[in-house]
Amino acid sequence: MSKFYVSDRWSDTAGHFIRRYDCGYGYYSKPAIQLDSPATDYKRAYESTRTYPCHFYGFLVAHQVKISGDIIVIEGYFGAYHGYDNTRANFGFAIVPSNYIDNDTTPPSKIIVIWTMSRFGWGNGSYGHYAYVKLKINPDNTVSILEASPGNPSVGYANPYDLIGQEVSVLFGYSDSWTADWNQWACARKDSYIDLPTAVAYTQEVSDAFKGLDILSRTAKVTKIYSDTYKGGDWVGLGRYLKLTDYGKPLDYTSKTPLKAVSELAIPCDRLTKGFIISLFERVFGEHWGVGYRGKILRDSFKGLDVLRKMASMVRTFADSGKMLDYTSKGLAVRKIELLISSDKLSKTPSHVEHDYTAVIDYTSKTPSLMEEDAVRSADVLRVAPIKALHDIGKLTEYTAKSSVKCLSDFAKALEILSKTPLLAWSDLIKGVDAFTSFASFLRTLYDAGKTSEYTVKNPSKRLADTGKTMDILKKSTSLLRSDYIKSIDYMCKLPSLKELDTIKGIDTHTIAPTKILYELSIPCDRLSKSLGKSLLDRVFGEWVYETLRGKVFRDTVKAVEVFSKTTVLHREYFDAFIGSDRMLKEFVKPVSDLFRTSDRLYKSILKVFEAESSIVGVPFKEMAREARDTVKALEVLFTKDIVWDFIEKVVAKERPRKEVLAYFFDTLSTEYVMAKGLPRVVREAVKGVDIASKELATSFSDLFKVKDLGAFRVFIKEAFERIFSEHDYVRSSVKVYRDYSRFTDPIAKIAFTLTQLWTRRVYSRPEKFADIIEASDHNVRVDACKKLLDKIKKLKEKLESM
Amino acid sequence: MSLEEEIKAMEDAISKMVYVKDGDYVYSDHPNSILEFLKHCLNASKLLYEMFKEKTGKELSKVEVHLGIAEDKLSKARTVSFGDVVLSIDHNYLVDSAKAIEFALLLMEQELE
C-alpha cells in the first residue's frame, strides 16, 4: 500500500475534473485550487466560476498510479461549503483511470466517495472534520465499505474491479450537481491521504528518484521498491494476479504439518512408554499376591502384546510421516519453482517500470551479497523456513526414534522382568508385604512344606518314604501281632469255647488282614497327600482356587473317613477274635459296637471288606457275612444284657474322650451330607473335627488302646491313627488356610485397632477385589495419635519427675 | 539428645503435620513428618523408661519388648521422596510402631498408679 498525501502534491494548484455520468451538461470550467484556505494547511477546490453538474471537480492527490490490490483507505480532515446549504455541501475522492482526468467522457470504471456535510451534522462551510473509510473492491465489480468513521459515506462506482492493474488518478474535491454558480468548495488538510494498493510508483517518480544517486544508493532504492512491492503488493505479474502471500501460507502449513504430525506422534509414543512403565510399575509394586500372580503375569503379557501392537501402529504412523516429509520436500521444490517462475514473469512484465527493474535487478545480482539478501528477503524467508522446519523435523524424528528405541528397550526390560517374575514371585511372596504378616500361617505352611517349589518334589517323596516306613512297621507289627496272636491262641486254647476255637481258624485271616488294610490305607493316604500336593500346586501356579481347594479338602477328608471305617473293621475283626473274652468285651466291645452304631455306612463297609477278604483267605463270602451278621446280633444281645451296663460303667472314666471320638466321627461323616448343603458348615465342622482330632482324639485313641492284651495291636493302631492324623493335620493346615483367609478378610473389611484410643486402620496390599488404599482419615488419625502420644510423654515425664 | 530436646523435636515435627481430606495430594512430608515424630517419640520413651527404672528400681520386660518392637518397625519404615509410591507398609510400620510405643508408655503409667 502506498499513501498519497495531500501534501505530496501541495504545490500542484491545477484544477481538474472528471465526468461522473452523462446528463446533457458538458464541461464548463475547472475549479480554482487554493492553498492554506479556508485555513492554514488546507487545500481547497473552489467553484470560483460556474462548474456544471454531472462532474467532479478538484485537485490531484495521486496521478498515474497503478493499483495492484483491492483495498483502498481514505483518512483525513476535511470541510465543504455550498451556497445553497449544507445539504448540498460535500467533499470526496474520485478514482478513475488516469486518461479520464480532464476528459469530458464518463470513465468506464470509477469509484467516487462522497461525504455530504448535512448527513454527518457538519455545518455548512465548516472544516476540520475527521473522516475515515476503508473500501474493498470486489471481484463482482462492487465496492464494499469495510470500515468507516464517523459513518458510511456515499460510494458510487462503475466497474471498479477493472481499476485494478490500471494506472489511475485520484481527485479530491466536490461533486457538482447544480448548474448555478453556488461558490461551492471542498477542502482537505495537508496530512489527509488516500492509501492505494500500488504495485509501483510511477516510472517518472522512479526515474526522478534515481537522479543524482550513485549506483549503490540507486540500487538500494530500487531494492527497497522491489521489496516494498513484495511486501505491499498482494499481486504480482504471474498471469494477472498471483498472490505471493498465498505461497507463504501453504508453504508454512506444509512445512509445519510434518512437525505437527511428528509432535502428535511423540505424544502417544510418550504415553505408550509411560503407560507400559506404569503397568510394569503397578505389577511390581501394586501386586504382591502370590496366588493371583500367574493371572497377573498373563494379564500383563496381554498388555505387552497390546503395547507391541500399538508400537507397530506407531511405527507405521512414523513411516507415513516420512512419506509426508518426502511429499513436503517435493511440495517445497514445486513451490520454489513456481516462485522462480513468478519472479521471472515479474521481471518480464511488459512494463517500462519492470524493464527498468529488470536492468537494475540484473545489476543487483552482481552487487554485494548484502544487497541480494535485502532484495530477496521475503523469498529467502520462504526458503529458510522450510529448511528450519525440516531441521526441526529432524530433531523430532531423532527424538521419536529414540523414544521408539526407549519403548523397545523398556519392553525388552519388561520381557526380562516377565521371564524373571516366576522366580521372583516366590521371593516376593515370602518376603511379602505387610499383609502377609497376618497371614503368617499360610506362609509358614508353604515355606515349611518344602520351601515352595521344592515342596512339590519333596512332598510326594516324603509321602512315599512315610508309606515305606509304615509298611516296614506294618511288617514288624504283623510279626508282633502274629506273636501276640499265638500267645492269645495259647491262652484261648485253654478256654473250652467252641467259638474261640472257630476263631482260631481265622487267625491266619486276621494276621493277613492288617497288612491288607494298612496297605489299602496307604493308597488313599498317598492319594490324599498327592491330592493335597496338587491342591497346593494349583494354588501356587494356578488361579484363585480356594473354591476348588475347599471342595478338595473335604473330599479328601471323606476319603480319610472311609479309611477310618476300614480301620474300624479291623477292630471288629479283633473283637471277633476275642469275642469270648470277658476282659476284651469289657475293654473293647463297647467302643467298637458304638462305632458300628454310628452309621450304616460303616456296616456296609464291613461287609465290603469281608467280601474282599473272602477272596484272599478263601473263606466263602456267605460264611463271612453270616459271621458279621452274627457278630452284630451278638453285640445286640450283649447290649441287652446287664453285663453290658457293667461294662459301660467301667468305661465311664473314658466317657468323655470316647464321646469326643464319636462326635468326631459323626461330625466328619456328616460332612458328606453337608457338602451338598454348602461349604461354610463343612468348613466349620471340619475345623471343629480337626481341632478335636489334633488335641484330643489321638490321646483318646491312644488311651483307648493302652491295654496290655493288645500289645502289638496297639502299635498297629497307633501307627494307623498317627498316619491318619498326620493326614488330618495336613488337611487341617489347608483348612487353617481357609480359616485364616476368612479372618484375613475381616481386616480388609475394617478390622482395626486403636491407637491412643483412636480407631486406627492398618492397610493391606491384596488382590484387586480387596483393593485398599491409605485414606485421608488414616493419615489424620496418625496426626492425632502423634499429638496424644506427645501429651502422654509429657504427663509421664511430669509424673516421674515428681517422684 | 536430652528428654527436653526430644520433646522439642517432637513438637517441631507436629508443627509440620497437616490434616488432609479426600482428593488432596499425598506429599512426602505427610508420612515423613510422622516418621520423624515417632523416631523422637521412641527416643523419648526410652529415656522415660530409664528414668522410670531409676526412680522405681523396677524393670519392666514388657516395656522393653514393646520398645524393641517399635524400634524394629521404625527401622524398617522408610523416608519417602517425591515420586515414591506410598505403600501400605509405609503406613503400617508407622501405626505399628506408634502402637508399641503407646503400650510401653501405658505399662509405665500403670506401674506408677
**pLDDT tens column, B31-88:** 899 999 999 999 999 999 999 999 898 888 888 888 988 998 898 888 888 777 777 7
Give yes or no for a contact between A756 and B8, defined as CB atoms under 8 angstroms apart. Answer: no
Query: Are A790 and B7 an interchain contact pair (Cβ–Cβ within 8 Å)?
Result: yes
- Considering only the C-alpha atoms of chain B, give the largest distance between any 2 of them, rounded to a whole number of Å: 51
CA A27 to chain centre: 83
Sequence-distant (≥ 6) Cβ neighbours of residue A641 within 8 angstroms: none
Instruction: Answer whether residue A78 shows pLDDT above 90.
Output: yes
Compute the distance between CA of residue B5 and CA of residue B7 in angstroms, rounded to an integer: 5
Q: Residue A638: which H helix or E strand, with range?
A: helix A621-640
Query: Are B88 and A785 an interchain contact pair (Cβ–Cβ within 8 Å)?
Result: no
Chain B residues with beta carbon closer than 8 angstroms to that of A432? none
Share above pLDDT 90 across residues of chain A, in percent, rounded to a whole number: 13
Compute the CA torsion angle B25, B27, B31, B36 (nearest 10 deg). Answer: -150
A678 burial level (CB within 10 Å; 0-12, 13-18, 19+): exposed
Contact with chain A for residue B7, Cβ under 8 A:
yes
Query: Are B88 and A783 an interchain contact pair (Cβ–Cβ within 8 Å)?
Result: no
Chain B residues with beta carbon closer than 8 angstroms to that of A775? 22
Instruction: Answer whether residue A147 shows pLDDT above 80.
Output: yes
Query: Are A793 and B7 an interchain contact pair (Cβ–Cβ within 8 Å)?
Result: yes
Q: What is the pLDDT of residue A89?
A: 93
Compute the distance between CA of residue A417 and CA of residue A405 in angstroms, rounded to an integer: 18
**What is the grid cell recorded at A480?**
508282633
**What is the grid cell recorded at A362?**
540484473
Chain A residues with beta carbon closer than 8 angstroms to that of B31? 779
Report, as an integer, the average pLDDT of A94-115: 91
Using pLDDT thresholds of 50, 70 and 90, give the confidence band for residue A86.
confident
**What is the grid cell recorded at A740?**
485364616
Instruction: Answer whether residue A490 shows pLDDT above 70.
Output: no
- Identify which of A148-162, A512-526, A586-600 has the greatest average pLDDT: A148-162
Question: Cis before residue A368, ω within 30 degrees of 0?
Answer: no
Using pLDDT thresholds of 50, 70 and 90, give the confidence band for residue A451.
very low
Q: What is the pLDDT of residue A92?
A: 95
Instruction: Answer whether residue A315 shows pLDDT above 50.
Output: no
pLDDT tens for A157-201 read: 998 988 887 889 999 999 988 877 788 999 999 989 998 876 444
CA B21 to chain centre: 23
Contact with chain A for residue B57, Cβ under 8 A:
no
- Considering only the C-alpha atoms of chain A, give the largest distance between any 2 of them, rounded to a whole number of Å: 178
Sequence-distant (≥ 6) Cβ neighbours of residue A495 within 8 angstroms: A580
Query: Are A793 and B51 an interchain contact pair (Cβ–Cβ within 8 Å)?
Result: no
Report, as an integer, the average pLDDT of A288-300: 40
Give yes or no for a contact between A184 and A82, defined as CB atoms under 8 angstroms apart. Answer: yes
Contact with chain A for residue B1, Cβ under 8 A:
no
Instruction: Answer whether residue A44 shows pLDDT above 90.
Output: yes
Whole-number average pLDDT of chain A? 55
Instruction: Answer whether residue A131 shows pLDDT above 90.
Output: yes
Instruction: Answer whether residue A634 shows pLDDT above 60.
Output: no
Report, as an integer, the average pLDDT of A763-789: 76
| Ramachandran category for residue A436: left, alpha or beta (phi over 0 → left; psi -120 to 50 → alpha) | alpha
Report, as an integer, the average pLDDT of A735-758: 46
Scanning every residue of chain B, which has its alpha carbon at the shortest distance from the alpha carbon of A788?
B102
Q: What is the pLDDT of residue B69?
A: 86
Query: Are A790 and B17 an interchain contact pair (Cβ–Cβ within 8 Å)?
Result: no
| Best CA proximity match to B110, nearest among A760, A787, A799 | A799
Using pLDDT thresholds of 50, 70 and 90, give the confidence band for residue A243.
very low
E-strand ranges in A107-253 read 110-116, 129-137, 143-149, 154-158, 167-176, 185-189, 193-196
Chain A residues with beta carbon closer than 8 angstroms to that of B94? 782
| B30: helix, strand or coil | helix
Query: Are A755 and B102 an interchain contact pair (Cβ–Cβ within 8 Å)?
Result: yes
Report, as an integer, the average pLDDT of A543-549: 36
Query: Are A800 and B55 an interchain contact pair (Cβ–Cβ within 8 Å)?
Result: yes
Query: Are A803 and B22 an interchain contact pair (Cβ–Cβ within 8 Å)?
Result: no
Q: What is the pLDDT of residue A765?
A: 57
Using pLDDT thresholds of 50, 70 and 90, give the confidence band for residue A528.
very low
DSSP secondary structure code for residue A86 in this structure = T
Q: What is the pLDDT of residue A656?
A: 36
Instruction: Answer whether residue A58 shows pLDDT above 50.
Output: yes
Q: Residue A45: which H helix or E strand, with range?
A: strand A42-46
Sequence-distant (≥ 6) Cβ neighbours of residue A132 within 8 angstroms: A73, A74, A75, A147, A148, A149
Give yes or no for a contact between A271 and A405, defined as CB atoms under 8 angstroms apart. Answer: no
A249 or A29, which is more confident? Answer: A29
Helix axes A711-749, A679-692, angle to 10 degrees: 130
Sequence-distant (≥ 6) Cβ neighbours of residue A289 within 8 angstroms: A296, A765, A766, A767
Instruction: Answer whether residue A211 shows pLDDT above 90.
Output: no
B20 or A588, which is more confident? Answer: B20
CA B111 to chain centre: 21
Give yes or no for a contact between A172 and A6, defined as CB atoms under 8 angstroms apart. Answer: yes
Instruction: Answer whether residue B22 shows pLDDT above 60.
Output: yes
What is the CA angle A713-A718-A721, rounded to 5?
120
- Identify which of A103-117, A664-678, B81-95 has the greatest average pLDDT: A103-117
| Best CA proximity match to A28, nearest among A55, A10, A7, A8 | A55
Q: Residue A80: which H helix or E strand, with range?
A: strand A71-81
Give yes or no for a contact between A378 and A227, defined as CB atoms under 8 angstroms apart. Answer: yes
Q: What is the pLDDT of residue A268?
A: 47
Q: What is the pLDDT of residue A771?
A: 55
Helix axes A590-598, A546-577, angle to 10 degrees: 140
Range in A10-14, A47-51, B74-78 with the lowest mean pLDDT: A47-51
Query: Are B22 and A799 an interchain contact pair (Cβ–Cβ within 8 Å)?
Result: no
Q: What is the pLDDT of residue A749?
A: 35
Scanning every residue of chain B, which has its alpha carbon at the shortest distance from the alpha carbon of A752?
B95
Q: Which of residues 67-106 of B touch A (CB under 8 A)?
A: 85-96, 98-99, 101-102, 105
Contact with chain A for residue B49, Cβ under 8 A:
no
Contact with chain A for residue B112, Cβ under 8 A:
yes
Q: From the CA atom positions of chain B, what is the Rg in Å?
A: 15
Instruction: Answer whether residue A21 shows pLDDT above 80.
Output: yes
Instruction: Answer whether residue A50 shows pLDDT above 50.
Output: yes
Report, as an integer, the average pLDDT of A666-674: 37
Compute the distance between CA of residue A301 and CA of residue A305 in angstroms, rounded to an integer: 6
Report, as an integer, the average pLDDT of A43-61: 88
Q: Which of A436, A793, A801 to mutate to test the interface with B (most CBs of B within 10 A)?
A: A793
**What is the grid cell recorded at A311?**
508400537
Sign of the Cα pseudo-torsion (A442, A448, A451, A455, in order): negative
